[in-house]
């Protein structure tokens, strides 16, 4: 099990706490310090079963400044999230071939 985690995010902290309280010991990936690769992001998106645009945080300043008025392709969204990891929803928990976004944090208990 792996959690893409931002320790400054309360939802991410809550999700991690829920996992550890339930006896899980996930590998913690601080994706802002160690950015996710393009291939890894593609894999996560496939496991989530969503389109890349569905993983984008539309409230982020970088989204509003750089992308709101544009219509990037799927490939461009993946490249944007690799370049600007703050664009990614968080936390994301991956277990085997499944993944889930921890919003609300209780979602992570479904894995």
* Distance from C-alpha of 35 to C-alpha of 101, rounded to nearest angstrom: 17
Please tell me which residue in 1, 2, 7, 9 is annotated as part of the active site. Answer: 9
* Distance from C-alpha of 45 to C-alpha of 49, rounded to nearest angstrom: 6
Tokens 């709101």 — which residue? 68
Element at 95 (helix H, strand E): strand 92-95
Is 104 an annotated catalytic residue?
Answer: no
**Hey, which residues are catalytic here?**
9
């Amino acid at each position: 099990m792996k959690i893409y985690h931002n320790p400054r995010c309360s939802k991410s902290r809550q999700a991690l706490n829920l996992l550890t309280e339930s006896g899980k010991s996930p590998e913690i990936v601080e994706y802002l310090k160690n950015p996710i690769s393009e291939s890894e992001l593609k894999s996560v998106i496939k496991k989530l079963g969503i389109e890349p645009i569905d993983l984008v945080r539309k409230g982020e300043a970088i989204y509003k400044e750089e992308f709101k008025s544009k219509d990037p392709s799927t490939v461009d969204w993946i490249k944007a999230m690799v370049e600007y990891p703050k664009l990614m929803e968080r936390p994301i928990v991956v277990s085997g071939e499944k993944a889930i976004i921890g919003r609300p944090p209780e979602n992570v208990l479904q894995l």
